[in-house]
Amino acid sequence: MQDQNAAKHSQYVPGFHMLTFGIILAALVVAVVMMVSPGVSTGTVFALLASVCMGLLFFYTRQFATGNQDRVIRAEENFRHYRLTGKVLDPRLTRTQVIALRFADDSELAALAERAANENLAPAAIKKAMGKWRTDHHRI
């Protein structure tokens, strides 16, 4: 696995993020071209509906997976904070702030979580404030 840092930590699966999306987009374009040409058939309408459906499936499959990952990350980070400090995370922390805090080293987590809550730091600012990066290769 490659090293991670604030500038490079996003993970992409080329077969899903690029190839599958490209095929769905191409199907949609072809279906729209077929719809505007003379002599629209039921097959053309079906092709358009199928490509729109594939696009929605692509979008919602990703949304459901990342939503579930967000819940798991919040639970893990809440437990990690409790294990280190004896207190749960500050409820003022947003979902995106907690997700950013997962990259903080144990030695920095408590202070950075408090600072993020008090100053309402953006996730990018939280990541840049980390002196020691804790990698996460599990989220896609």
Distant-in-sequence, close-in-space partners of 92: CB < 8 Å, separation ≥ 6: 117, 120
pTM here is 0.66
33 found inside a domain:
yes
Range of the domain at 106: 14-129
pLDDT digits (tens, 9 = 90+) for 112-131: 999 999 999 999 999 999 99
In a domain, 1, yes or no: no
For the cut 70, the answer to whether the pLDDT of residue 1 exceeds it is no
Q: Is residue 8 part of a domain?
A: no
Q: Is 115 within a domain?
A: yes
Residue 139, domain member (yes or no): no
- Asked whether residue 66 is assigned to any structural domain, the reply reads yes
Are the CB atoms for 98 and 108 separated by under 8 Å? no
9 within a domain of the structure (yes/no): no
Asked whether residue 7 is domain-assigned, the answer is no
How many domains does the chain divide into?
A: 1
Check pLDDT > 70 for residue 136. Answer: yes
